Amino acid sequence: MHLLVNETRHRVTGEIVVPRSKYHAHRALILASLADGVSVVHGLSDARHVEYTVQLLRGLGVRITRAGDTYVVQGLGGCYQPRRETVSAGSSGTTLYFMIGLTSLSDRAVSVTGQKYFRRRPVAPLLRALEHMGVELSSADDCPPVHVRGRRPTGGRVRIAGTLSQWISGLILLAPFATGPTTIEVEGELNERTYLELTVAMMRQFGLRVTVSDDWRRFDIEPGQRAQPVELTLPPDIGSAAFGIALSALHPCDVLLRGMTSLEGRAADHPEFHFVDAARAMGVPLELDLAAGGLRIRQDAPRLRAIDLDCRDMPDMLPILSTMAVFADGESVFRNVAHTRLKESDRAAAMTQLAAMGGNLDLGPDELRIRGVERLRGTRLKSYNDHRVLMSLAVASTRAAGSTTLTYPNAYRISYPGFLDAMTALGASMSVRTRPPAAGPARRLEPEVLDPDRAAEVTLPEWLRRRAADRPADTALVDVRPDGDLEVSWAELAQRVEQAAALLLRLGVRPGENLAYQLPNRVEFVVLSLAALRIGAVCCPIIPFFREREVAFVLRRAHARVLVVADRYRSREPAREVLALAAEDRGRLEHVVVVADSGGPADLPAADGSGPAVRDWSQSLAEATVDRAALDAFVPSPAATAQLLFTSGTTGEPKGVMQPSRNLTRAAAMEIRHLGLTAGDTIWAPSPLAHQTGFLYGMVLALVLGVPQIVQSEWDAKRALQSLNQHEGTFVQAATPFLSDLVDAVELTGEVPEHLRIFVATGATVPRGLADRAGRVLGTAVCGAFGTTETCLGTLSAPGDEPSRRWGSDGRALDGIELRIVDDAGTLLPAGAEGNFELRSQTMFDGYLDRPDLTAEVFTADGWYRTGDLATLDAAGALRITGRIKDVINRGGEKIPVAEIEQLLFEHPAVADVAIAAMPDERLGERACAFVVLRPGTELSLVQVTAYLDEHRVAKQYWPERLEPVAALPRNPIGKVQKFELRALARDFRARGKQ
């Protein structure tokens, strides 16, 4: 992939919204995490570096929630409670340097690491200074990872070089929490003083006391301080605005930078305020337009003047100022640039690539000289994965004849996620392109797809945008329908998503809001999911077979105002059911949008005017006007909640599982890498898209991989077999019943799925006989796996494994996943021993909606997730699930909410006592058997039981499929039903063939 930039020959016009300061964001989040109480931070940036800080703080036990651009931080009073042994700073130097020392405020030891290239970044001066403060740490080579003991520093007199302000800020932030007084003295030349000024100013805002010498080379800090919670709004980010200013400076223009309301940089409280002064000194015609709410640049004949600048206080501005200087009259001199060569890349050297374009640059040990030229020529450049180098060279390339390509085209997301959209909005021609491979027709996967860390930072709307731009005519989705398959290209899918997003905005849906929809597997489900994510809303899909009882629960708990539902599904009329629900329970529901099963106008139920408004999906879409500016104002964050899925309530009421975007895309990339999926695969998704298996390992997987997905609303094995061959399906992840039915269809018809190569069986244990049979009949690799809605996939076998290991186990841990088997006391058990299965993962959910108590219950004190399963883990790392701790019946991948059904049956007039237990089934894995103690003089049949549950609007999949009257239920001395005895009875029924 590369960033393609074409010369801009026209006037640059339009407006862009300047994002908020990431420098303030880092400090505000960290200080808020240390405060005693709740802080509210408005205007947080979606910059990836800021998200790394959020993620690391969450790993230290800090509760951080988000609504739009506002973060609410529950401070821990200067005592972190890590959820895991290792936390990562990603690729953020600020996060790394600030947090190494601060992790010593944890109640146990923690290792601080970063992405691979960060593990080569020397931090010796910072580590030595922290050790002098009494921080106990170790590092193999004075680079990350750094192991930090959980113990408060002692303080003392500390000396550190003034090379990087972030090192000094890291010490200053830690010192108030030391047990003794701290004095920090800066040695040698002091760079980046403005960043230190910001650190101290924000610390004082949180009530922390720092005494600073007049020359900012000595800091005295009292020990034992406590930070106070605050509410604050971040100022605009001058560092991001600089690219809009520079683009305008190089071309005839009329540009408004909305959000910048001062020409005095210092008034904006930003460490890079000198850039505004530098731009004005170079002749950029900046003027305030208070009526429009921003800074305006208007000129017909751009003319820049050379500048002589000391870079010590403005190191991050060197790349973009170099871009401006290369077109300025005369020679510009940038002094004291040595420390800029210690940033994400050697920035001074990186900008000398302008010479390859015809620029005149001379780099010395501590000085960069640039003599201006009139025009450059396009060429191939390297960005070194440095966001500022990439963006600066891209702006320079808009005034270069021909085209320019840049490596690491998505690096801009690190600090300015809106850069590409902002530049193109003003008229610059910039786009991310995929180069065809050097030989052969096969398309290569982008590096982001194969690297889960990088994939995690790309949201699904961005994946869609890339696909639509790179290969608009290629097939993105196949909707298998009885009246003929519908094929949708990437460009068509993107257009449908934009239209649906406009409709959602029209209905009042906003970022962070839960959008409920109950749809089968068809194109509308995919479109609606991506449209919700496009505007930052949360996908809250409802299983299609859910009846009124379950739907009502989801709508209440999700506080949904908008519901999209089909007019017909099988023999039911869901839209009418929902309106009847609304009449009984007048909740928050305001709009019901009805999708026609036939594809034409929907069969709209009559509304009485007192309930929610009822709309036709197709008509509403046609009436919605796509406002590009309004849509582009929403930039979804990888850290934001993207999905709310309700569990089946196996231990009581259903729980709403909240998953952020990055977990979903990371999980997809982890499976892609583990299985060796390629750009030539096609994903078949028979599982309900409203279930995590279909949503994540069908829809999301296809989007991240960039390949077609095949969906089918009505499950029919013969039709599925035909579509698999017609559309060349190669991969599927689905529950055991789909595998069983597909095998039966092949044996019945003689037709085989010619292209299917991998079937990952999840949701229920695959009988070994079925797996062996499926491998022979289908000619495909059947792979065992384990996952949950809360954790995504944790273990997975691979096609190359020995057959007995491939389908005879539940796989091995994916990269980055940790597994363990413990006894009831939490003691680690040896290999092969059965015990409680727990795991730890980077794809762990953010918690259960509005149920912190339930969230806390599923985690151990040291941050491991309790799966509720019994399992063994052999010496080679193969997992085998042997049973369940909780009372769960797994019917073909759907977990039956036993407790809820038992409670309902208890209310039946003929029932004195009841318990539901699992009985084995070859096709579905398990079915439910109801053991009932009848009241004297009554009778009860299975038909009567199912009729009773139907009256209570319980989904058919949850109905017991056998009824056994018993004289009494087996109970232990304290009255608990001994369900293992009931399960044994049910196994006997099966063994004896009892009907």
Digit-coded pLDDT (tens) for 443-491: 678 888 989 999 999 999 999 999 999 989 899 999 998 777 899 999 9
- The per-residue pLDDT for 415 is 82
Distance from C-alpha of 780 to C-alpha of 739, rounded to nearest angstrom: 11
All structural domains of the chain with their residue ranges: 2-18+236-433, 22-233, 893-992
DSSP string for 955-993: -GGGS-SEEEE-SS--B-TTS-B-HHHHHHHHHHHHHHT
Res. 56: pLDDT tops 70: yes
If pLDDT is split at 50, 70 and 90, which confidence band does 989 have?
confident
- The per-residue pLDDT for 77 is 93
- The per-residue pLDDT for 154 is 96
874 CB-near residues (< 8 Å, 6+ apart): 831, 832, 880
Q: Are strands 865-873 and 879-884 parallel, antiparallel or unpaired?
A: antiparallel
Distance from C-alpha of 920 to C-alpha of 699, rounded to nearest angstrom: 31
- 343 appears as a binding residue in the annotation: yes
Distance from C-alpha of 231 to C-alpha of 245, rounded to nearest angstrom: 31
Angle at 947 between CA 945 and CA 953, to 5 degrees: 110
Distance, C-alpha 138 to centroid of its chain? 32
Tokens of 238: 């001058």
DSSP string for 49-66: HHHHHHHHHHHTT-EEEE
For 155-172, how does the pLDDT look when each residue is reduced to its tens digit (9 = 90+)? 999 999 988 889 999 999
Q: Do domains 22-233 and 893-992 have the same CATH topology?
A: no
If pLDDT is split at 50, 70 and 90, which confidence band does 193 have?
confident
If pLDDT is split at 50, 70 and 90, which confidence band does 437 have?
very low
810 included as an active-site residue = no
Which of the residue ranges 781-790, 900-909, 925-934 would you say has the lowest mean pLDDT?
Answer: 900-909
Res. 423: pLDDT tops 60: yes
- The per-residue pLDDT for 765 is 60
If pLDDT is split at 50, 70 and 90, which confidence band does 902 have?
confident
If pLDDT is split at 50, 70 and 90, which confidence band does 973 have?
very low
Question: 969 or 497: whose pLDDT is higher?
Answer: 497
- 93 appears as a binding residue in the annotation: yes
- 152 appears as a binding residue in the annotation: no
Q: What is the mean pLDDT of residues 954-964?
A: 91
516 CB-near residues (< 8 Å, 6+ apart): 540, 541, 542, 554, 555, 558, 560, 562, 563, 564
Q: What is the mean pLDDT of residues 240-250?
A: 95
CATH T-level fold of 2-18+236-433: UDP-n-acetylglucosamine1-carboxyvinyl-transferase; Chain (3.65.10)
- The per-residue pLDDT for 585 is 66
Rg (CA), the chain: 30
Angle between helices 238-250 and 387-397 (to 10 degrees): 20
Q: Does domain 22-233 have CATH number 3.65.10.10?
A: yes
Using DSSP's 3-state secondary structure scheme, residue 480 falls into strand
Contact 719, 571 (CB under 8 A): no
- 388 appears as a binding residue in the annotation: yes
- 994 appears as a binding residue in the annotation: no
The label of the residue with tokens 């009848």 reads 934
Q: Counting Cβ atoms within 10 Å, is residue 278 exposed (0-12), middle (13-18) or buried (19+)?
A: buried
72 CB-near residues (< 8 Å, 6+ apart): 38, 39, 40, 41, 64, 65, 66
Q: Which of 46, 237, 316, 921 is catalytic?
A: 316
Termini Cα distance of the chain? 62
Res. 153: pLDDT tops 70: yes
Partner residues linked to 879 by β-bridges: 873
Res. 265: pLDDT tops 50: no
Domain with residues 893-992, CATH architecture: 2-Layer Sandwich (3.30)
- The per-residue pLDDT for 411 is 82
Which of the residue ranges 683-697, 720-734, 777-791, 884-898 would you say has the lowest mean pLDDT?
Answer: 884-898
For 647-673, how does the pLDDT look when each residue is reduced to its tens digit (9 = 90+)? 865 445 789 999 999 999 999 999 999
- 979 appears as a binding residue in the annotation: no
Res. 886: pLDDT tops 90: no
Does residue 737 have a cis bond before it (omega within 30 degrees)? no
Alpha helix (H) residue ranges in 452-489: 452-455, 460-470
Tokens of 176: 């108030």
- 165 appears as a binding residue in the annotation: yes
Alpha-carbon distances, residue 285 vs 257, 299, 325, 795 (angstroms): 13, 7, 16, 59
Contact 859, 83 (CB under 8 A): yes
- 794 appears as a binding residue in the annotation: no
Question: 131 or 482: whose pLDDT is higher?
Answer: 131
If pLDDT is split at 50, 70 and 90, which confidence band does 435 have?
very low
- The per-residue pLDDT for 441 is 43
Q: Alpha-carbon torsion 364, 369, 375, 381, what sign? A: positive
The pLDDT > 70 percentage for the chain reads 93
Distance, C-alpha 870 to centroid of its chain? 30
Alpha-carbon distances, residue 225 vs 30, 136, 152, 210, 309 (angstroms): 15, 21, 12, 11, 39
If pLDDT is split at 50, 70 and 90, which confidence band does 398 have?
very high
- The per-residue pLDDT for 601 is 80
Contact 391, 320 (CB under 8 A): yes
Res. 434: pLDDT tops 60: no
Res. 201: pLDDT tops 60: yes
Q: What is the mean pLDDT of residues 974-980?
A: 65
Average pLDDT value over all residues in the chain: 88
Contact 306, 372 (CB under 8 A): yes
Tokens of 740: 């069983």
Distance from C-alpha of 960 to C-alpha of 552, rounded to nearest angstrom: 22
Distance from C-alpha of 219 to C-alpha of 199, rounded to nearest angstrom: 12
Res. 35: pLDDT tops 60: yes
If pLDDT is split at 50, 70 and 90, which confidence band does 225 have?
very high
For 67-82, how does the pLDDT look when each residue is reduced to its tens digit (9 = 90+)? 777 889 999 999 999 9
Question: In 662-748, at which residue ranges do the beta strands (DSSP E only) sit?
Answer: 683-685, 709-712, 731-734
Res. 344: pLDDT tops 90: no
The label of the residue with tokens 């060569």 reads 341
Partner residues linked to 934 by β-bridges: 911
Half-sphere exposure of 417 (CA within 13 A, CB side): 23
Does residue 145 have a cis bond before it (omega within 30 degrees)? yes
Contact 907, 914 (CB under 8 A): no
- The per-residue pLDDT for 666 is 97
Distance from C-alpha of 272 to C-alpha of 277, rounded to nearest angstrom: 10
Most confident of 116-125, 270-279, 660-669, 795-804: 660-669
- The per-residue pLDDT for 440 is 35
Distance from C-alpha of 723 to C-alpha of 712, rounded to nearest angstrom: 9
Using DSSP's 3-state secondary structure scheme, residue 962 falls into strand
